[in-house]
Amino acid sequence: MSPSILVITMSRRVEAALGAELGALDLTVARLGLLGHINGVPGASFSELARMSGTSVQSVHAAVKGLVGAGLVRDLTARAGSASTIELTEAGAELLAQARKAVTRVDTQLFGAESDPILRRVGAAIVDAFAGETPPRPGP
Q: Is residue 82 part of a domain?
A: yes
In a domain, 51, yes or no: yes
How many folded domains does the chain comprise? 1
Within a domain: residue 40? yes
| pLDDT tens, residue by residue, 36-67 | 999 998 888 888 899 999 999 999 999 999 99
The tens digit of pLDDT for each residue in 55-114 reads 999 999 999 999 999 999 998 875 555 567 889 999 999 999 999 999 999 999 999 999
Domain containing residue 55: CATH number: 1.10.10.10
Give the domain extent around 106.
Answer: 3-126
Residues 39 and 83: their CA atoms lie apart, in Å, by: 17
In a domain, 133, yes or no: no
pTM, two decimals, is 0.82
